[in-house]
Structure 1
Amino acid sequence: MIARLFSPGKGKAWARTLALGGTIAATLFLMWQSDEPPGSQEKAKELRGPAEPDGFIIQADYRTWDAQGNPKIRMTSPRIEQFESNNLAAMEQPRATLHGEGDPVPWNIEADQGSLLQNDGLVNLNGNVVIQRQFQGSDTTFKTDELTLNNTEGTVYTDQPVTITEPHGTTKATGMKAWLDDRILELNSQVEGHYDPIR
């Protein structure tokens, strides 16, 4: 099943904001890179063990604004751990608020865990993943257990069950892929929908 994901004009702004969020996360990851000589890093890794992070941030709260001073993104996490050998940043309870260009209504994203794979341009969210947007008193919500954001391709996908709740109905499916720039949503299998146009 293929359907339009967002109302015209809103998807591209959201996709740009999502890409900006990925860029910010990548920038934060690069900021964590150490300037120490490689030998020092290896010695430190031997002392702390391979399972321990190279660095971490407690109560992370990152915000960005556009040139006019309007908020673009806010990302928070109680703890972010950085592992240099895997180019991986692991986030506990990541929360993000994304503001689209010219769109006063933000998208809110949350999950139990998240990770940024810098080399692949992927953000993986795991456990109670919720994407929500409130507009004119009504919520549109995506819920799943795992979700991958591919900043390079501009896609969001999962092979897990997903539930989409909109003002006039609910859709359930197993597996989903969305092309953000094109505002297209593809539901893979076991698609079930319930709609109430009177509501």
Structure 2
Amino acid sequence: MIQRVPIKFLMMTFILIVLTAISTIVMLRHSSPLTSSLDSQHQPNLIIFNSVTYTYNKQGLLKSQTNAVKTVHYEYQNKTVLTEPRMVAYTENRIPWQIRADQGQMVDGSSIIYLEGNVVLHQPEAPTSPETTITTSALTYYPNRSFAESKQEVTIQRPGTTIVAHGMTADLKNGLVNTQSKTRATYDPENH
């Protein structure tokens, strides 16, 4: 049995559909430019895969090198996010410090670099210093000063010596490392 729908009901349904379509079109065409500009401010303005960056000192010698699997720059905050950053920074005596982490974030250009996840600083043995490896979960690195600091637990390893501490500062230029608190050291003369 077929039921008849009143014509008045059909007309009202049709009018509601048309009004909904018109209001949707008007809203899409007149979306706030402020909203769209805010959204674009938070979008990256640069994405680079497998980036390599070199900086040189006044004498033209390589001062540092930074590699990253992915580099994303946000102009809005002058912030750069690095995936798997790998850096090499040289001391005044041209001894390299190799620095790596899972993630990194450069702030204020590249004057501050926050590193997180499996952070490792390594300096090979040199005539003036023993091989040194520092590991931690998070670290702040100041490339212009060749200075690093961490408020997390750190492990410092040198031949025959392992130091575990909570927090540290490191003057990479001069190879000086200072622990902050809860410092424990183990010395093994056979491996020295």
| Band the TM-score falls in, shorter-chain normalisation | 0.5 to 0.7
CA distance in 2 between counterparts of 1:181 and 1:99 reads: 7
CA distance in 2 between counterparts of 1:74 and 1:120 reads: 12
Q: How does 1:42-121 map to 2 (within 5 A)?
A: 45=37, 50=42, 52-65=43-56, 70-103=61-94, 105-118=95-108, 121=111
The reply to whether residue 149 of structure 1 matches residue 141 of structure 2 is yes
**Runs ≥4 in structure 1, deviation > 6 angstroms?**
none
Which string of whole-angstrom CA distances, capped at 9 and with x for unpartnered residues, describes residues 18-57 of structure 1?
A: xxxxxxxxxxxxxxxxxxxxxxxx897556573x322211
Distance 1:67 1:198, change over 3 A: same
Q: TM-score, normalised by structure 1?
A: 0.65
CA distance in 2 between counterparts of 1:140 and 1:120 reads: 25
Structure with the greater alpha carbon radius of gyration: 2
CA distance in 1 between counterparts of 2:70 and 2:87 reads: 14
Per the alignment, residue 131 of structure 1 pairs with 121
Q: Which amino acid aligns with 2:177?
A: L
Q: Which amino acid aligns with 1:122?
A: I
Decide which of 186, 189, 192 is 1:194's aligned counterpart. Answer: 186
Name the structure, 1 or 2, with higher relative contact order (CA <8 Å, separation 6+). Answer: 1
Unaligned runs of 5+ in 1: 1-41
CA distance in 1 between counterparts of 2:144 and 2:56 reads: 22
Unaligned runs of 5+ in 2: 1-33
CA distance in 2 between counterparts of 1:139 and 1:78 reads: 27
The alpha carbon displacement at 1:59 in A equals 1.1
Distance 1:57 1:43, change over 3 A: farther
Aligned-residue identity in percent: 28
Distance 1:152 1:134, change over 3 A: closer
Aligned length: 156
Q: TM-score, normalised by structure 2?
A: 0.67
**CA RMSD of superposed structures (Å):** 3.1
Contact 1:45–1:54 under 8 Å retained in 2: no
Per the alignment, residue 18 of structure 1 pairs with none
CA distance in 2 between counterparts of 1:139 and 1:185 reads: 13
The alpha carbon displacement at 1:181 in A equals 5.8
The alpha carbon displacement at 1:68 in A equals 7.0
